[in-house]
């Protein structure tokens, strides 16, 4: 029996697929260390969208002509790719959204407004991105439900020992949790959280925006109830994301946005809803963007999700080592084996915005700020951090250039 | 001189490391504060008047070098002047003093202190504010 060796990722040759790297910044090659914010796009995705517009574009679903059928096939074909990408049971469980924020709002409004009330408790985490925090806080307030956040320890990991005390505060109906932290790269232990939440009778809503670009994700293995992600962080275009949800939950939910396509029959007296997933896709969809997302899924599949994960882990280990050489630099978050390629840090005496500006002059793009994580920053006692994040096209020498830039910042502010 | 050298020129770094007019006033007549949520810059300013004249002005804050240095320079500029004169300062008056090229994002850093001071003067002496700021308790530049 043939044994296949694990696939290796060749970041250097993959880079040739990304036209952005042909364009210097401040006269220097671009070292793009901000992929957690948004990834760059390979030619394969850009070509797929252009080709679709040039050969197959029309509005979808209602047209009887050949072109509309081709366009519909491309859009629904992208849905099938998303289904396979997260290993959902059926395409009926995949709703296209504008981004992960819209996916999470869809659940908060569509499920939360009908199912939450006084005595109920919505549980989020302190490390949650504002997109899986603020909608739940708002819907809890509107429905009279309570709201609690699982605290984070000083290493940026969830304090699961607090779950019992949280459960005592009300009937837990929702657990909203990110799979991977956008600020710290922490991979959260979802299995015990899902088990705990289901014991309480709660649904589990997962923000997988920082997970699916970097590691294999299987919704059936995770055992959660909803999972959202966005296209632009995984080599796809902006304006497209997806929500997976259990069919029986989607069936029972109220629509989120209303209008064209999401209806079955409209009369002056009453309107009935289209079948899922169309019930949740009002108006003309981001058709070409869905096609682009499908192409991105193909591209990541070619590279190999396991190979991407290994490549980023090596980079993260390398980065943690090199950053550790810099005096006065404090790295946040867990050790490399429990995080993806995201490294947040503080350089003593230099504000993150100054750090980002100084390394930018060397062509190195990093993000500085609160990363839409204000409760987490408060917990860590920070106003902001500098964050470097890696992807399949990142090279070790780009981390070296970041380190050189940080030495320059230290010297300037010494 | 490179772009970076001109941005972080010596005078900016000096004001950042040794801010002028930094600290608190024991019995201020008025205080105001503000944030630039984008970067997490924070500035609070306390003013004591002698009539309409700014007798004492001090700031506290944390944030990037540009926000803190520009506020420090502002303290030097306004002490001893009247509330009305300072309320009439334009952003260019401060930016000329700061004297460095700024991108739109960093412009907000540089102008945070001036906005907070104008809010304090408005609270203390009723000097005019841009329409969009009236009724604000805290300034938020976003």
CATH number belonging to the domain at B3-124, selected among 3.40.50.620, 3.40.718.10, 3.40.50.1370, 3.90.1010.10: 3.90.1010.10
Q: Could you report the per-residue pLDDT of A308-325, keeping only the tens digit for each?
A: 999 999 999 999 999 999
- The mean per-residue pLDDT over the stretch A195-202 comes to 98
- Statement: residue B39 has pLDDT above 80: no
Query: Is the confidence at residue B120, as pLDDT, over 80?
Result: yes
> DSSP secondary-structure letter at A162?
G
ipTM of the complex as predicted: 0.79
| Residue-wise pLDDT tens digits, A54-107 | 999 999 987 789 999 999 999 999 999 999 999 999 999 999 999 999 999 999
Instruction: Specify the range with the lowest mean pLDDT, choosing from A62-71, A249-258, A357-366.
Output: A62-71
pLDDT at A285 over 70: yes
Q: Pairing relation of β-strands A241-245 and A94-97?
A: antiparallel
Contact list in A for residue B38 (CB cut-off 8 A) is: 369
Confidence of residue A2 (pLDDT cuts 50, 70, 90): low
* Predicted confidence (pLDDT) at residue B140 exceeds the cutoff of 90: no
Output the CATH code of domain A11-37+305-413: 3.90.1150.10
Question: What pLDDT score was predicted for residue B40?
Answer: 76
| Domain boundaries, given as residue ranges, for chain B | 3-124
Q: Is the pLDDT of residue A1 over 60?
A: no
Q: Using CB atoms and an 8 Å cut-off, which of residues 12-51 of chain A contact chain B? A: 26
Query: B91-111 pLDDT, tens per residue?
Result: 899 999 888 888 888 888 999
How would you classify the pairing of strands A146-150 and A120-125?
parallel
Alpha carbons B142 and B135: distance in angstroms, whole number: 17
State the pTM of this model: 0.91
- For residue A51, pLDDT beyond 90: yes
Q: What is the mean pLDDT of residues B112-124?
A: 95
Question: Cβ of A383 and B7 within 8 Å?
Answer: no
Average pLDDT (A261-272) is 94
**CATH number, span A48-301:** 3.40.640.10
B101 touches chain A (CB under 8 A): no
Mean pLDDT of B57-62: 95
> Which residues from chain A sit within 8 angstroms of residue B8, using beta carbons?
354, 358, 412
- In this structure, how many other beta carbons lie within 10 angstroms of the beta carbon of residue A191? 11
B2, B42, B64 member nearest A353 (Cβ)? B64
Chain A nearest-CA distance from B67, in A, is 10
Separation of alpha carbons A274 and A251, rounded Å: 10
Verify whether the Cβ–Cβ distance B63 to A354 is below 8 Å: no
Give start-end residues of each CATH 3.90.1150.10 domain in chain A.
11-37+305-413
Ranges of CATH 3.40.640.10 domains, chain A: 48-301
- How confident is the model over A192-213, as a mean pLDDT? 98
Closest-approach residue (CA) in chain B for A352: B64
Cβ-proximal residues to A38 (8 Å cutoff; 6+ apart), any chain: A232, A233, A238
């Amino acid at each position: 029996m043939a044994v296949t060796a694990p696939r290796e990722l060749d970041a250097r040759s993959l880079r040739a697929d990304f036209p952005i790297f042909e364009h210097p910044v401040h006269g220097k090659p671009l070292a793009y260390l901000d992929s957690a914010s948004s990834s760059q796009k390979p030619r394969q995705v850009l070509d797929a969208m252009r080709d679709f517009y040039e050969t197959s574009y029309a509005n979808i679903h209602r047209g009887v002509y050949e072109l509309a059928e081709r366009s519909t096939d491309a859009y629904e074909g992208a849905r099938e790719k998303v289904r396979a990408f997260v290993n959902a049971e059926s395409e009926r469980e995949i709703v296209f959204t504008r981004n992960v924020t819209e996916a999470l709002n869809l659940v908060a409004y569509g499920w939360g407004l009908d199912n939450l009330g006084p005595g109920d408790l919505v549980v989020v985490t302190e490390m949650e991105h504002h997109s899986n925090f603020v909608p739940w806080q708002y819907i809890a307030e509107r429905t009279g439900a309570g709201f609690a956040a699982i605290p984070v320890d000083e290493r940026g990991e969830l304090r699961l020992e607090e779950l019992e005390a949280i459960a005592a505060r009300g009937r837990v109906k929702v657990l909203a949790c990110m799979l991977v932290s956008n600020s710290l790269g922490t991979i959260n232990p979802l299995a015990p959280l899902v088990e705990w939440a289901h014991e309480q009778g709660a649904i589990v809503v997962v923000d997988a925006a920082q997970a699916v670009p970097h590691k294999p994700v299987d919704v059936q293995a995770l055992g959660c109830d909803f999972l959202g992600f966005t296209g632009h962080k995984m080599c796809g275009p902006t304006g497209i994301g997806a929500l997976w949800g259990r069919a029986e939950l989607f069936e029972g939910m109220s629509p989120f946005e209303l209008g064209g396509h999401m209806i079955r029959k409209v009369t002056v007296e009453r309107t009935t809803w289209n079948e899922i997933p169309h019930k949740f896709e009002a108006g003309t969809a981001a058709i070409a963007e869905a096609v682009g997302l499908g192409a991105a899924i193909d591209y990541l599949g070619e590279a190999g999700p396991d190979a991407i994960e290994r490549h980023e882990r090596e980079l993260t280990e390398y980065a943690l080592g090199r950053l550790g050489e810099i005096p006065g630099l404090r790295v946040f978050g867990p050790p490399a084996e429990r995080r993806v390629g995201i490294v947040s840090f503080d350089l003593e005496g230099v504000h993150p915005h100054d750090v980002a500006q100084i390394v930018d002059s060397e062509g190195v793009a990093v993000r500085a700020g609160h990363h839409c994580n204000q409760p987490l920053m408060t917990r860590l006692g920070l106003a902001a951090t500098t964050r470097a994040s890696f992807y399949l096209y990142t090279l070790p020498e780009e981390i070296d250039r970041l380190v050189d830039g940080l030495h320059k910042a230290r010297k300037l502010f010494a | 001189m490179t772009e970076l050298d001109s941005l972080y020129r010596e005078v900016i770094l000096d004001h950042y490391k040794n801010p002028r007019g930094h600290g608190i006033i024991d019995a201020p007549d008025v205080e105001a504060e503000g944030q630039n949520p984008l970067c997490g810059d924070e500035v609070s300013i306390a003013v004591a008047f002698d009539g309409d004249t700014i007798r004492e002005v001090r700031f506290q804050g944390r944030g990037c070098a540009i926000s803190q240095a520009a506020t420090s320079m502002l303290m030097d500029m306004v002490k001893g002047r009247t509330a009305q004169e300072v309320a009439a300062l334009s952003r260019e008056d401060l930016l000329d003093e700061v004297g460095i090229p700024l991108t739109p994002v960093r412009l907000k850093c540089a102008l945070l202190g001036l906005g907070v001071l104008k809010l304090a003067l408005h609270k203390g002496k009723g000097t005019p504010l841009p329409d969009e700021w009236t009724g604000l308790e805290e300034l938020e530049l976003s």
